[in-house]
């Protein structure tokens, strides 16, 4: 397409991020009263009581700008994570951080490496600054760190690694990650995206924050949108070397995390019962979905997040639409070059049951139409 005005060539090549279908949109389209959204990896428990109380208290100050430095939230995070507040960069969701990194560390002469089947925002953030995206082939739908290491050149400025990975649920074990980090030049920034960190229970999973002292070119990103149940408030953060945080904070918008979001995030970090319940709900929900998909003879990808991707086959788009007609919203993965897959988020036990029941009915109906 030709424009009458100048537009960044990288931006012209972008395809907008496609979020999970909103409940309200499906209600408008089909007039359904009961809808279950299992498309966006949200916490099915709803927000923490502590977070709600903090939001209500903060509401009286809405005429004021939020603390541009996020002092209270940074201090609370620093204490919980065992880091210094100078290492923290706050974001309007961790997506905000993922977009800040290329703006700070890359330009039109740079290359940014990420894996096939990894989070769509990496490509969007890369193209937006005019950098070249180097997409390495995946192994079993997960990161091939050997391939990523081999792709490093003198033009490489940033490497994105999602651990666990969305949308496939795969993860990089500690020793594999350490071997990779050892070969990455100190001049290359490595972003370890740990949006689903709190759900992980595998013993060989590496905590990126524990690696920061050893690898000062490492940035660890996390979010309040998943296990902490605050997706609607958009709060995320990065932990890094103070020098890196200083550079990112120069680019970060001064009020990118609003007042209510800051207060709710700081409060929910004290709600250990909510965290425990969220993790437990996810553990049993994943097992329920795995067993249900096994019962339908469907192939699924092992996941340590709060979602699971499963293969439907060539009719995945049709199955997706038929589930919508039953009020079940899942996530098609064609935009991730996985056209035969759908992804379902872990819901409450009753929601998982309704999803599996609807999927059973849809698959049976499709079999009958083929006979």
User: Quick one: pLDDT at residue 33?
Assistant: 73
Measured CA distances, 300 to 116, 117, 199, 327 (Å)? 18, 15, 19, 22
For residues 123-145, average pLDDT:
95
8: pLDDT strictly greater than 90: no
Contact (CB, 8 A) for 261 and 233: yes
pLDDT over threshold 90, residue 271: yes
Query: Two tokens at 332?
Result: 């098609």
Q: Which part of the chain has CATH 3.90.1150.10?
A: 9-37+272-370
Q: Has residue 291 got a pLDDT over 60?
A: yes
pLDDT of residue 17: 57
pLDDT > 60? residue 361: yes
For domain 49-268, the CATH architecture is: 3-Layer(aba) Sandwich (3.40)
Strand partners, 189: 158
Question: What CA–CA distance (Å, rounded) separates 205 from 119?
Answer: 19
Confidence of residue 3 (pLDDT cuts 50, 70, 90): low
Tokens of 61: 């100050």
Domain(s) of CATH 3.40.640.10: residues in the chain: 49-268
At a CB cut-off of 8 Å and minimum separation 6, what does 305 contact? 41, 164, 166, 169, 196, 199, 226
**For a pLDDT cut of 70, what percent of the chain falls above it?**
92
12-29 pLDDT, tens digit per residue, is 665 665 666 677 777 677
pLDDT 10s digits, 336-346:
999 999 999 99
Q: Is the pTM of this model over 0.85?
A: yes
- Average pLDDT, whole number, for the chain? 93
- Angstrom distances, CA of residue 98 to CA of 21, 51, 118, 121, 219: 23, 25, 13, 7, 10
The average pLDDT across 115-119 equals 96
Domain 9-37+272-370 has CATH 3.90.1150.10: yes
Q: What is the pLDDT of residue 131?
A: 95
CA angle 366, 344, 170 (to 5 degrees): 120
């Amino acid at each position: 397409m030709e424009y009458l005005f100048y537009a960044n060539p990288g931006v012209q090549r972008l395809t907008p991020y496609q979020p999970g279908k909103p409940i309200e949109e499906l209600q408008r389209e089909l007039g359904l009263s009961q809808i279950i959204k299992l498309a966006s990896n949200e916490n099915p428990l709803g927000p923490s009581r502590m977070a709600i109380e903090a939001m209500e208290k903060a509401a009286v100050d809405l005429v004021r700008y939020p603390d541009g430095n996020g002092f209270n939230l940074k201090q609370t995070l620093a204490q919980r994570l065992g880091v210094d507040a100078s290492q923290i960069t706050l974001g309007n969701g961790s997506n905000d951080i993922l977009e800040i990194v290329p703006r700070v560390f890359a330009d039109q002469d740079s290359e940014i490496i990420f894996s096939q089947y990894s989070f769509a925002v990496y490509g969007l953030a890369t193209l937006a600054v005019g950098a070249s995206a180097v997409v390495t082939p995946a192994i079993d739908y997960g990161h091939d760190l050997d391939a990523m290491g081999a792709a490093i050149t003198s033009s490489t400025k940033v490497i994105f690694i999602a651990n666990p990975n969305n949308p496939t649920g795969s993860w990089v074990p500690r020793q594999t990650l350490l071997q990779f980090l050892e070969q990455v030049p100190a001049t290359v920034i490595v972003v370890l995206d740990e949006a689903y960190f709190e759900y992980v229970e595998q013993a060989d999973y590496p905590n990126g924050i524990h690696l920061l002292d050893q690898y000062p070119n490492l940035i660890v990103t996390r979010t309040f949108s998943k296990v902490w149940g605050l997706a609607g408030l958009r709060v995320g953060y990065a932990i890094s070397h103070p020098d890196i945080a200083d550079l990112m904070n120069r680019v970060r918008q001064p009020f990118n995390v609003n007042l209510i979001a800051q207060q709710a995030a700081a409060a929910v970090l004290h709600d250990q019962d909510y965290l425990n319940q969220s993790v437990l709900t996810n553990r049993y929900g994943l097992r329920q979905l795995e067993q249900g998909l096994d019962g339908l003879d469907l192939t699924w990808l092992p996941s340590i997040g709060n979602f699971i991707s499963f293969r439907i086959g060539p009719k995945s788009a049709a199955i997706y639409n038929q589930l919508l007609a039953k009020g079940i919203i899942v996530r098609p993965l064609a935009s991730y070059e996985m056209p035969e897959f759908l992804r379902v988020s872990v819901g409450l036990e009753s929601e998982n049951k309704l999803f599996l029941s609807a999927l059973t009915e849809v698959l049976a109906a499709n079999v009958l139409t083929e006979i």
